[in-house]
Amino acid sequence: MKQILKAGFFLKIILPALLAITLFVLTVFVFIIPAFERNAINQKKNMLHELTNTAWSILQKYQTDEKNGLFTRDEAQKKAISEIEALRYGSDTKDYFWITDMTPVMIMHPYVQELTGKPLKEFADPDGKRIFLEARSIVMEHEEGFMNYKWQFMDQPGIIVPKLSFVKKFEPWNWIVGTGIYIDDVENEISQLTNHLLLILTGIILIISLMIFYITFQSLKIENERTAAEMLLHESREKYKSLIESSTEGIILLLNSKISYANAFIQKWLKYNSDELERIDINKLFTPGQDINFENIKKENRVEVRLNKKDGTPTFAILTALPVKFADKEGVLLTFRDTSEHQTIKQEREYLKSQISTIFKHSRTGYFRFSLKGDKKIVEFNQSIVKMLGYKSENELKKIKLPDLFENINQLKILLSNLKKQKALVNQKIRLRKYDQTIIENKISLFIVEAPAGNNIYCDGIIEPPSANKLNNNLHPAIQELILSLSQETQSANRLSTRTSADDALAPLTKSKDQRENDTHKTNKDAGTGKHANSLEFIREKIKNCQNTRELADIRSILPQLVKPMLSQTGSISTITEMTSGLNDLITYRIIENCIKEHGTPPVPFTFFVYGSAGRHELVFNSDQDNAIIYDNNDPEKEDEIHHYFVALGKEINRQLHTSGLVLCSGNYMAGNPKWCQSLTIWQDYFADWIVNAEPENILNFSVMFDFRHVYGKEALFEKLQNYVHEILDGRTAFFYLLAKQVTMFKPPLNVFGNITTDTIDGQPDSIDLKKCISPIAMFARIYALRNKIQLNRTAQRLQALKEMGVLSVETAEQAQFHFNFLMQLRFKQQITKIENNEKPGNALQIKNLNEIEQHILKKVFSQMNSYSEKISAEFMSAYRD
């Protein structure tokens, strides 16, 4: 406590508090109260001016009547006096008007009637001010003006209070008309305000005193906690250092392209000590010809490299380079995994393969090599296969392509499909077609070999003679061992793999219902139930042939397994969203076709369109339905009948989409809602109303609907609506202002210290809402696309177009694209994790599930997202406000 209660504490805590209180007091009594008083007096002056003008207009009216001969001057003046004398205003209707001439002599005073007709030169208030002489001076010099004096309070002669009056000259009759109000109420208001502010000031001083006491008490506690935290941090650093030093991978940290740190593993591996590595050029660790520019590492890169040890001997590694920020400096973290043993085995295996090839050329067993790409052309073979297949010469066999040798082309496709997965196949039964078209049964073994040149991939095939029962009947033992080891090696690698490939994800679709329920083993026969089992083309074909929504739901259920490997294989989220949205379009198309079969031919042409995330090709696993129908109706008499048909059709489409896995929209923005199932004319009216009558509710409807995209039906109808919307958007400043306001409402979840702020979302504590974080990026791209007439839907496409047009700078566009990709990847990852854990996917992301690097990037993204609001506000909102 003694450390805290010293001069430094007084200067840092107490003195600023006292200065703040002093400044507050000065501000109140020097600026706020005088300003309030001036404002109150000005309001009363404005009122007096307007009231006097009213009385003056009565004089003007009767002077005009006199001029027009309706009254004599005496009659006109009497009527004017009578009317003005009756005028009252104020809270008690006791405030009045009076009239004098320029002598001055009192013409009329409603309360002090004994003054009427008497000269007023000597009339003065208690302070000696000659009131009516001053009034005459004011109107003679300025025609009108204000004056302050003291007067009896209304009709109570014994009470004298301050009064403010306004006088104005009526030139035709040489009169002065005036009125005044008592300003003692202003003084009362100032007094009350002062008392309130003093109470507030007293409260503030009390609160600050309590805060100073609390801060004093807490400071010691915080100091103790800080000391303990420093000890824990030191311990954590030591543990982290021990972890790095004990790693079985080499680690190097580059700062400014120079080695700043190297762990013990790589020092021992390359036989350098720490000082030597920090002095050496990083490129000298690599063998010549490996051009790696570490200054341009912008994202994670992985590549096989060959390193030089200190003694000159080579070694092989897989290098992972990751950009990092260390002590506010841009750097690159290099991780080296030793693959020398793998390379040695690989070289030995390649040597053995070449020996096998030589052996096979002179073996009784048929041997051939063919290309796995293109037309499967046979590029090499031995004499045994020429004789086995009954060809007269090698030239005749050279003209043959591999599919021509098989009795059943599907059997070859099944073999090649399994070969891509397993890399090697042993003793597979086949039926081959000989030169004379007779069929023979054989066994074939296949294994993939490295491409000797170019980008092609080749496969070696070994065919047993028809009389052989087993592979080892005619093969050299070393050859059989190699083929079996290749197969076992591939199968083992597949078992150890922690990633699910897209092909594996498609496997359930290639099986029958019984096979899916009893999936205890796999055979080559089972793998061949679909000719496109290993490609997205197979899914497309499967969707086209689906007869019910249950089958479509099965297809939709495997999408997470398709997406998972793609997250780590692609640098852009567009590939993934294009796939998910594209398959959803196919499912929707198929459902609409089935529904039309049930409901009958549509009475008029129509179009079914989607909007929102589906309209932008940005569907995720918790997206719901956003769709609508436009129909073409030129017959008003049949409107009810046509509308009834399409509403019923829309409801059935919505129901089947829900059954297939795309849930209903909670806000009922769907084609089955009669409001969103309308003719083209009504849709045009909708958008015109939303744009022209720019109100918050209309802006919301427009924001939901605008990212719209045709899916089924007559596209010309959709294009008419789309073109109409872009036409009426021209020059709608108020509309763009409100649309921009939506973007500026987003505040990134960061506190003043730059740390991520979290909340409980969907029952998950310490989370952020990824949908709300992504939304401003989509809105940012949308508003610029609208203003610049860019008719593209995808956020990435809009940003690219805006960059190419020069609307957005390269830095801004690429930054927004990075933000979008990063947040969407996080969204897909957390949703896939939820699905794998049999939980419902949502938008909540718990920060604790991110690693340190991801959290760092997320903070950076949020800190940069403030620039959207600043740019939007400057370009769309400031001009409108001005």
pLDDT in tens, 437-452: 888 888 888 877 654 4
Beta bridge mates, 152: 160
Q: What is the DSSP letter of 490?
A: H
pLDDT given at position 773: 93
| Average pLDDT of the segment spanning 87-100 | 85
Residue 371 DSSP SS3: strand
Q: Pick from 36, 22, 17, 14: which is nearest to 196 by CA?
A: 36
Given a cut of 60, is residue 499 above it in pLDDT?
no
Outline where 600-679 has alpha helix (H). Answer: 639-660
CA dist 252 and 265 (Å) reads: 10
Q: What residue type is assigned to position 90 of the chain?
A: G
Given a cut of 90, is residue 659 above it in pLDDT?
yes
Beta bridge mates, 380: 369
Given a cut of 90, is residue 657 above it in pLDDT?
yes
Higher model confidence: residue 18 or residue 573?
A: 573
Given a cut of 70, is residue 287 above it in pLDDT?
yes
Q: pLDDT band at 485, cuts 50/70/90?
A: very low
CA dist 169 and 648 (Å) reads: 79
Residues 742/703, Cβ–Cβ less than 8 Å: yes
Given a cut of 70, is residue 357 above it in pLDDT?
no
pLDDT given at position 139: 92
pLDDT given at position 402: 82
Q: How is residue 502 written in tokens?
A: 């897209």
pLDDT in tens, 770-797: 999 999 999 999 999 998 988 888 999 9
| Average pLDDT of the segment spanning 299-318 | 87
pLDDT given at position 805: 93
Q: What is the DSSP letter of 61?
A: H
Q: What residue type is assigned to position 791 of the chain?
A: Q
With vertex at residue 514, the alpha carbon angle to CA 509 and CA 518, rounded to the nearest 5 degrees, is: 95
Residue with token string 């956020």: 795
pLDDT in tens, 103-154: 999 999 888 788 888 898 888 888 888 988 999 999 999 999 999 888 777 6
Before 776, cis peptide (omega within 30)?
no
Percent of the chain past pLDDT 90, that is, above it, reads 30
Residues 776/743, Cβ–Cβ less than 8 Å: yes
Q: Pick from 534, 542, 524, 540: which is nearest to 414 by CA?
A: 524
| Per-chain mean pLDDT for the chain | 80
Q: pLDDT band at 611, cuts 50/70/90?
A: very high
User: Residue 231's CB: how many other CB atoms inside 10 A?
Assistant: 10
333 CB-near residues (< 8 Å, 6+ apart): 251, 252, 253, 254, 321, 322, 323, 324
Can you spell out the DSSP letters for 657-717? HHHHT-BPPTT--STTSGGGEEEHHHHHHHHHHHHHS--HHHHHHHHHHHS-EEEEE-HHH
